[in-house]
Structure 1
Amino acid sequence: MIPAAFDYTAPSTVDEAIRALADAGEDAKIIAGGQSLLPVLRMRLAAPTSLIDLGKIAELRGVREDGEHLVIGAMTTHHEVQRDPLIAEHAALLARATDTVADPQVRHRGTLGGAVAHADPAGDLLAPVLALDGELVVAGADGRRTVAAAEFFQDLFTTAMRPEEILVEIRVPKHTGWRAHYEKFNRVAQAWSMIAVAVTVRTEGESIAEARVCLTNMGSTPLRCTAVEQALVGQRASAEQIRAAAEHAAEGTSPPVDGNADADYRRHLARVLTGRAVSAAVTA
């Protein structure tokens, strides 16, 4: 199917993009890599009057250090995230999860900011951003503001961004020396997660000193498994302790029911995959 007609704008700066968004009105859409938006346009599930392409804004690309944080431009592609040495050193979980996103073609076009702003709870990058205590920097006519990931993801395809705002940066505290794993379960290769678990841990000797565990596609937003984290911290990283902690993984979840699985099966998967993910992380 052919998309409905729309005006197209490709600004070269963030300020130009914000002005274009304000001028276009409420029926405008922002396009980043286009891997989620273009199929929606082709099926006419959305019919914006104006499309504002962020692809020519150089300041929205790249990874840099800012003290104890990494700053990742919203238009940084998945392929760039996979191969960036700063991310590999200071935010390994994000690199591990990005490895599982779709296929090489999509990873060369899709962007971290586009995936985060789309806020699909089955998307693989929301849970890692949440687990890493990420912050999202958004820009609008009134300037820039920073929103914690825990507050940014509000509901299915819904974020804390206002209609006139654009996501410009993802800030992640450095997790240097932390071990990480992303355990994804899907029916076919390169598909969306039926469920996935993002884990990053800091160990001291044979014990787990700190842990972050988050779930993908177990609710309308990514979910932090604080009960699992509390059960892990201070414990020896043994198979028995990890298995016991993983039993808390489904607490407080509201998994979707669809043609892939019912809620009870997803809760079972959450417990099993959490155990696998933590075990893999501590031995990474």
Structure 2
Amino acid sequence: MPRFAANLSWLYTEHPFLDRFAAAASDGFDGIECLFPYEHPAHELRARLDAHGLCWVLFNAPPGNWAAGERGIAALPGREAEFRRGIEQALHTAHTLGCTRVHVMAGLVQPALPVEQQWATYQHNLAWAAAQAASAQVKLLIEPINPIDMPGYLLTRQADAHRLVAEIGAPNLLVQMDLYHCQIVEGEVLSWLTGALHPQHGPSRIGHMQVAGVPGRHEPEAGAIDYPAVFELIDQLGYAGWIGCEYRPRLTGQADATRAGLGWLRPHLDRQRNAWATP
């Protein structure tokens, strides 16, 4: 049975960041994720986890200059030394937080350089990073991101992510499957899930999932993705990892906007509590 994690970069934004841990725990989450945890001392974040009985399940490696528009540097030729420093920082942070998954962003396509060179840089950097992460007992993840939300991003398709993971062949390098991005780029989410998770297709290369409604990136309820069918299929196929709730609450800007939109999740949280309570 999968477990749901609150993405604190997207949820509970009605609270200051350090207060979001308590809010998530109060609503029944026992896992959290976020985009970047580097604005606060890692030991302070760990104290928040411990105080509220939470597990940190995912964050991103440093993405370059985010404020200037960079969206990762793993595929950028000439930035290898900076990339390696960022991976070292991420692994140090992961150790303090007890987090076992780090997402590595590829970056935006550089028009002045051959795209083949960028793919080769990406593959080389990921192979190096996976080796470092293996020593730290951390899984590295790569995520296809749709070109509407993130124009110019190098990795947009599930097939490319799975191909890259297979070619590198590191057991701790896996795919982060965000169903919102998958639906926008390729559709057929149920087919992609079956292909990725069904035992007859070999060991799963899915290391983490995320959900949001399409369109709008709001609560995963009505829309182009049949989430009740998705969650049923995930259970049938035996996925027991985390599912990150990376969406923008419809009532963002109002008090308790996140909590007001959690009706879709409460049956799942109740079911999880009952399952864990069973001897």
Specify the TM-score bucket, using the shorter chain as the normaliser. Answer: under 0.3
Higher strand share: 1
TM-score by length of 1: 0.24
Please say which structure displays the higher CA radius of gyration: 1
TM-score (norm 2): 0.24
**Higher-RCO chain (CA-CA 8 Å, sequence separation at least 6):** 2
